[in-house]
Structure 1
Amino acid sequence: MAVPTERFVAHPLVVRITHWINAFAMVCMIASGWAIYNASPIFPFRFPVWATVGGWLGGSIAWHFAAMWLLCANGLVYLTYGLLSRHLQHQLLPVSPRDVARDALLALRFRLPHEAGRYNAVQRALYLFVLLLGVLLVASGLSIWKPVQFSWLTSLFGGYDFARRVHFCAMAGIVGFVVVHLALVMLVPRTLLPMFTGRAKRHAPTHPDTQQEHRA
């Protein structure tokens, strides 16, 4: 007997819009940030020109700040909606090291079940981690952008040069998150369409009378 299914709203409209704006802004920020890094590298390597935007240092800085303001505005919309609607609480909490370890082992064995519209413990931990990285990215970015006006913040990071390293590492963490995120989408491609349509399928709840008929 076929298992009955139903369509439901897996991702509200606000979440979908902010998700794709965030994706666009992050790509612009990363690519322009790599171009800015190339102008004065702090490590013995440079990023390929094809992976950067801006064309020159001034243009890359303009791209970087434009994407930054878009990302900040979009983030405020998402956080406001997430807090007022309790979306963040429902999707990202609770999370515990034990649950993360359990789901990570299941994922490595390709046995982690996926339920549309709900994050497993690994996803919750990753999203919380990337939110913290975002805060670190903004704080270190401000200390680099205005080292005189935000001298206290720059000092908190151990000086301008170390703040650049913190900013770079936070950015690398964001890139790592994006890589993992895309890998998970490739492993479970059915999760992509609901981010456009908002709707997904799930097993329909069985009515008690129906359960009794099945048992009979």
Structure 2
Amino acid sequence: MSGRVIHPWPLRLTHWLNVIAMVIMIGSGWQIYNASPLFDFTFPFTIGQWLGAAIAWHLAAMWLLVLNGLIYVVWSLASGHYKKLFPIRPRALLRDLRAALSFDLKHERGVYNAVQKLLYVGVLFAALVAVLSGLAIWKPVQLWFLSDLFGGYVVSRFVHFFAMTGICLFILIHLLLVALVPKVLPPMITGGRLP
């Protein structure tokens, strides 16, 4: 087989480790949320069964997420992969957004369109905010500067909730797009090759 690999193995590895970490983080986070809801609803599907177990799962997955995220950032910078996410030009974004909303967005294998670039950069930012606000909630006294950065413990909880909501919306859109263009899934498993 000739051609360049669409998704190199470090990208695939960090992607699938993120899937594991995020499923655990979201499920256990919902259980933690249910113990002290911010709004007038709770989540029916959770991981942990009780608050102490959910916190243990959440913290274990947090370390996986942070370590995996650092590996991704170092690899992305060292390999130049990050260049695929930039620049995000407003004109291209509007064009691709219109095409996406009319279900006419072309997908070129191995190339991110402007909407994908914005979503990927956005979810990376949301993940950073979720981790930092989560640390502010976890250790508000020891990490007081993070807690203060977000406006205190109570505000940090809201910031964390909305950052995770953004991540969940990204996941939903991501899965929807994979369902609409299923040919993108096998290369994320095997690496795939461009002709």
2 CA distance for matches of 1:147 and 1:175? 25
Deviation readout 1:23-52 (Å, 9 max, x if unpaired): 11011000000000000101110000xx21
Q: Determine which of 162, 165, 181 is the counterpart of 2:158.
A: 165
Rg larger for: 1
Determine the structure 2 residue equivalent to 1:21.
17
Query: Retained in 2: the 8 A contact 1:140–1:163?
Result: yes
Amino acid at match of 1:24: I
The count of corresponding residues between Structure 1 and Structure 2 is 195
Determine the structure 1 residue equivalent to 2:115.
122
Q: Determine which of 61, 64, 73 is the counterpart of 1:67.
A: 61
Amino acid at match of 2:16: W
Determine the structure 1 residue equivalent to 2:142.
149
Determine the structure 2 residue equivalent to 1:87.
81
2 CA distance for matches of 1:201 and 1:185? 19
1:37 aligns with 2:33: yes
4+ residue segments displaced more than 4 Å: none
What's the % identity of the aligned pairs? 55
Aligned-partner SS, 1:153: helix
Aligned-partner SS, 1:9: coil
**Structure whose residues are more often strand by fraction:** 1
Query: Retained in 2: the 8 A contact 1:25–1:68?
Result: yes
Q: Which range moves more in the overlay, 190-199 or 93-102?
A: 93-102
Q: Report the Cα offset of residue 150 of structure 1.
A: 1.4
Name structure 1 gaps, 5 residues minimum. Answer: 1-5, 203-216
Aligned-partner SS, 1:116: coil
1 CA distance for matches of 2:150 and 2:3? 49
CA RMSD of the aligned region, Å? 1.4
1:78 aligns with 2:72: yes
User: Normalised by the size of structure 2, how large is the TM-score?
Assistant: 0.96
